[in-house]
Amino acid sequence: MEFRFVQDLEIVSELTGLSAEAFAEELGVSRMTLNNWLSGKKSATEKNIASFYEYTFRKGIRLNLIKEQLYREDVAESSKVLLFHGAKTKIEGALRTDCSKRRNDFGAGFYCGESLEQSAMFVATYPASSLYMLTFDSTGLKGKEFGVSRDWMLLIAYFRERLGGYADSGVIRELVRTVEGVDYIVAPIADNRMFEIIDQFIDGEITDEQCKHCLSATNLGKQYVFVTDKALRQVELLERCYLTGAEKEFYLFSRQASYEMNRDKVKVARRQYRDVGKYIEEMM
């Protein structure tokens, strides 16, 4: 799936309100070149495509956010949910459950998020990254959903292989059974920053309640993890969206600002719930 460059050209041309001549001039190409792109007679180069999307973002036109809102309206009255997937480059071929690392939050699977910004943020440091918009219909599938809870924290640690000697305990074996045989999992996202907090719980530095409230303070988004081919057959790729350099910088800045604010929330939560709940040794 390639970018919808021609359709996006038409949209941006209309939004700017410029004449064809003026629009071509702002893009740094001739009127004939623009016409050839729009008619499909010629394809734009990668440099042309990058220049167009950078121009669009600089003009204050948030094309990806506009598309997100339109797609949300499309799925509002259906059984589908709108999801996002950040790719380091692009998706090649059919969607697969074995394309991710095994030591992810819930092992191998195809991972998507509910937030456009968060999905884009995860791949913002990769030069050729892009963003996919998808829909998912869970009808007829078996799913398992977690909130920010002790079970979720322990499962994340288990699949990331950080439980050490606790991995073979009866508590963990019972938890793992709850996700066996499911088609998909819905759970909070635990990025590397958040996993540092879970690590403190596993290392016995904080209680389960401290860990849970620290993680809640960070406003984690939800992710969908598709673990069977049956689930992936009910995922529809809608569009591959371009991420400009300026847009990536925006998401990275947003992440840093959020991190600095959440850092203080975590400190307060850790203090407020000190010695409340159980340490991991007590549970196991």
Predicted confidence at residue 192, as pLDDT, reads: 66
- Residue 78 has φ and ψ, to the nearest 5°, of -115, 180
Predicted confidence at residue 229, as pLDDT, reads: 95
Q: What does the block give as tokens for 10? A: 């038409």
Q: Considering the domain boundaries, does residue 43 fall inside one?
A: yes
Q: Considering the domain boundaries, does residue 72 fall inside one?
A: no
Predicted confidence at residue 261, as pLDDT, reads: 60
Q: Which tens digit of pLDDT belongs to each residue from 218-244?
A: 666 899 999 999 999 999 999 999 999
Percent of the chain with pLDDT over 90: 62
Give, as one character, the DSSP assignment of residue 167: G
What residues make up the domain containing 31?
A: 5-58
Q: Which tens digit of pLDDT belongs to each residue from 84-105?
A: 999 999 999 899 998 777 778 8
- The rounded distance, in Å, linking the Cα atoms of 53 and 48 is 9
Residues 217 and 162 in one domain: yes
Q: Which tens digit of pLDDT belongs to each residue from 194-205?
A: 778 888 888 888
* Mean predicted confidence (pLDDT) in 242-256: 86
Q: Which tens digit of pLDDT belongs to each residue from 41-82?
A: 999 999 999 999 999 999 999 999 999 999 999 999 899 999
Q: Which tens digit of pLDDT belongs to each residue from 157-188?
A: 899 888 888 889 999 999 999 999 999 999 99
3-class SS of residue 204: coil
Predicted confidence at residue 129, as pLDDT, reads: 95
Predicted confidence at residue 220, as pLDDT, reads: 65
DSSP 90-105: ---SS--SSSS-TTSB
Predicted confidence at residue 103, as pLDDT, reads: 78
Q: Considering the domain boundaries, does residue 70 fall inside one?
A: no
Q: How far apart, in Å, are the Cα atoms of 18 and each of 10, 38, 273?
A: 11, 15, 58
Residue 217 reports pLDDT greater than 70: no
Query: What CATH number did the domain enclosing 30 receive?
Result: 1.10.260
Q: Considering the domain boundaries, does residue 65 fall inside one?
A: no
* Mean predicted confidence (pLDDT) in 257-261: 62
Report how many domains make up the chain.
2
Q: How confident is the model at residue 258 (pLDDT cuts 50, 70, 90)?
A: low
Predicted confidence at residue 210, as pLDDT, reads: 84
Residues 176 and 141 in one domain: yes
Q: Considering the domain boundaries, does residue 73 fall inside one?
A: no
* Mean predicted confidence (pLDDT) in 245-274: 77
* Mean predicted confidence (pLDDT) in 15-34: 95
The strand pairing partners of 80, in sequence order, are 137
